Amino acid sequence: MFGLKVMKQRLGLIVAALVVLVAAVAGGIVARRAEQRIVTGTSADADAIIEHDYKEVLSLIANEYADEIDYEKASQAAIQGMLSTLDPHSTFFTRADYDKLKQDHDSEFFGIGVTILRHRDGVYVQSPVPNTPAARAGLRYGDRIVEVDGKDAREWTSEQVSKAVRGERGEPVNLKVERAGANAPFYFTIVRDAVSQPSIRTAYMIRPGTGYVALTGGFTNTTSDELESAIKRLKDEGLRQLVLDLRNNPGGLLKESINVASQFLPRGQTIVSVRGRGEYGAPQTFENTAYDPEDFPLVVLVNRNSASASEIVAGAIQDYGRGYLVGETTFGKGLVQRVFSLDYGTGLTLTTQKYYTPYGRSIQRDYSNGSLYDYYVRHDTDDEPRPSTPLTPTMSATPHAHTLEPTPTPTPHPPTGPAVRTAAGRVFYGGGGITPDIEVKPLDVSSPARGRIFEAAFQFTRELVAGQIPGLESYLVDKTLYGQFPRPTDYPVGERVLEAFRAHVRRDPESALTAAQIDADLDYVRLRIREEIVTAAYGNEASIRALLDSDPQLLRALEVFPDAKRLAEMVRNGASQS
C-alpha cells in the first residue's frame, strides 16, 4: 500500500516514442508487453510502430536540438509522463526521492531533528524534537535559519532546508541562525543522527476514562506496535473509551492498516479485500488473524486528508458498526501501489490493485474527469486561501511530513458507487471516500484575516518568549521543558498580552492587520498566541494538546460515545436500525 502523494508537478502528454527512450536510457525497465498495452491496446504492430517512431525522434533530437541533452532528465520525464496517463498515484522516484520514500516507511531518517515552518521572511524553527541533535545543540523556537553549510537559506522553502540538513549519519551540518533579542547570529555545528518519525505522536487521557490517540503520522512498519503500546499504557491509566484520530493521515503500508483495524475487530472478520490484474492482481481478502480485539466504545476522527490506509481502517470500523466516525468525508484513495526498485537506485510506485471495504464499498474517488490539479488540490468553491499551519491533527490543511508547509485539501466529492447495506442495516455509498456518521467542520483557519493573525502571532511570540516585550519579561522561555504540559493558569493570554500584541502589530506594517480585525476575532488571537507560547515552552506535543481543547471535531466526538456504544451493542446482538 502506498499513501497519498501530493504531486509537485505533472508533465503533459509524452509522445509514444519516448516510452522506448525510457527503456533505452534507464536500462530496459519498461517491458514491451506493457508498451503494447499502454500505447495501442491490442495492436500486433505496436512494437514496430514504437521502434520506428523512437528512432526517428531520437535521431532528430540528437542531430538537431539546439543545446546539450540531459538524457537522464529526459528519461525521468518520459517515465513520469507515461505513468501520469494511468492514474494519479503511479509515480516515478529519482534516487534522492526513492531514498526518502524508504526512510519514511522505516519510521526513521538521518538528520538533526527539528520541525520548521516557512514564514514571510524565512524558515524558522518551530520546535526541536526531544532527544535529537538539534535539541542537544540548543536550537530554539523562533530561530531563523539564514545559512546551511555556508549557503544563503533566507529565500529557501522549508523543503529546501529540510533536504539540506538531512544526510549521512555522523556527518556534520553547519547552521547560522538569527535569534530574537540577540545582537549577533548564532553558529551551530550539528552531527546528523537517526530521527524517529512515529505514527503516533500524541496519546493521553483527555478526560477521566477517555483516551485520545492521534495516529496522524502515516502507516509505517511500526504503526500497529505503536498503537498497541499506546492503548496498553492508557488502559493502565483508566481507559474505558477511545478517540482514534486519523485526520491528516496520508496512509502508508497495507499490512499496517490491517493490523490497526484488527485491534478493534473480531478475529476472522474481513478488514479489506483487494482486486486487480496481472502478476500482482489476484483477488485477496485480509482478515484479523493476529489480535484479540479491544471492545471499549470507539469514535474515529477523519477529515478530507485522511487517505488510503487510514480509509481502510475507517471503512472497516464503519462497515461493522464498531464505532462512530466524526469529521469530514475522507480523500477517496482506494488504489493499491506496489513499490518497484529500478536500476541505478531509482524506483516507482505502480497501481496494481483496488481495495474494497468489508461490505464491498470502493473508496476510490473518480479521477477520469478534470485535471490532476483538481484531483489533488482544489478547495470548496467558497474556500479562501489557507495560511501556513504547523503539523497538527486539528487543522484541515495537510502539511508535508517533513516540511510543515500545507497543501490544499481536495474538492469534496459526492459518492458515485452503489448503495451498500452494512452491519445493523446501515446504508453507505462507495466511490467517494468514507462519509462520517456525523459531519463536523474543523477549526476555521481559512479566512485571510486569520492567516494574518497566524503570522503576526508567531512574530509577536518570538519576541515575547525571548524576553523582549517590556512589562512581560515573565514570559521569557530559557529552555523547552519536553514531556511537561501547562496548567490552564500558565502563560495566560490576558489583556496585558493582547495590548502588547496590538502594539506589535502597529509597529509591523507587514502584518497588514487592523485593530478592528483583531478585536473582531479575539478568541482566535488568544488561541494562536497561547499555542505559540506553549510550543516554545513545552514543545509540539504540548501545543497540540492545547489546540485540542478548542477543536470542534474532537469536542463533538466526545459527545457521541453513548451512540457509538449503542451501535456496537446492536451489531453484537444482530439487530438492525429501524
C-alpha cell belonging to residue 231: 492503548
Cell 501520469 -> residue: 84
Transcribe 325-348 into DSSP letters.
EEES------EEEEEEE-GGG-EE
Transcribe 396-433 into DSSP letters.
SSEE-TTT--EEPPPPP----S-EEE-GGG-EEE-SS-
The β-bridge partners of 561 are none
> If you count them, how many residues does the chain have?
578
Helices 540-548 and 522-538: angle between axes, nearest 10 degrees:
150
Q: Is there a contact between 35 and 49 (Cβ–Cβ < 8 Å)?
A: no
3-state secondary structure of 356: strand
Question: Which of 104, 143, 319, 437 is the catalytic position?
Answer: 319
Question: Which of 107, 245, 333, 396 is the catalytic position?
Answer: 333
Helices 254-262 and 223-236: angle between axes, nearest 10 degrees:
20
103 CB-side CA count, 13 A: 21
Active site includes 578?
A: no
For residues 551 and 546, give the distance between their C-alpha atoms in angstroms, rounded to a whole number.
9
For residues 197 and 219, give the distance between their C-alpha atoms in angstroms, rounded to a whole number.
11
Question: Which of 75, 162, 199, 308 is the catalytic position?
Answer: 308
The β-bridge partners of 252 are 219
Write phi, then psi, for 149 (nearest 5 degrees): 50, 45
In angstroms, how far is the first alpha carbon of the chain from the final one? 37
Of 458, 471, 424, 449, which Cα lies nearest the Cα of 519?
Answer: 449
Of 298, 302, 535, which Cα lies nearest the Cα of 396?
Answer: 302
Give the burial string for 435-462 (b: 16+ CB within 10 Å, else e): bbbeebebbebbbebbbbbbbbbbbbbb
Active site includes 396?
A: no
Of 156, 196, 153, 150, which Cα lies nearest the Cα of 173?
Answer: 150
Q: Which residues contact 117 (CB under 8 A, 6 or more apart)?
A: 123, 124, 126, 158, 388, 390, 404, 405
Transcribe 40-71 into DSSP letters.
HTT-TTHHHHHHHHHHHHHHHHHHH-SS---H
Q: Is there a contact between 145 and 175 (Cβ–Cβ < 8 Å)?
A: yes
Active site includes 354?
A: no
For residues 516 and 522, give the distance between their C-alpha atoms in angstroms, rounded to a whole number.
10
Positions marked catalytic = 308, 319, 333
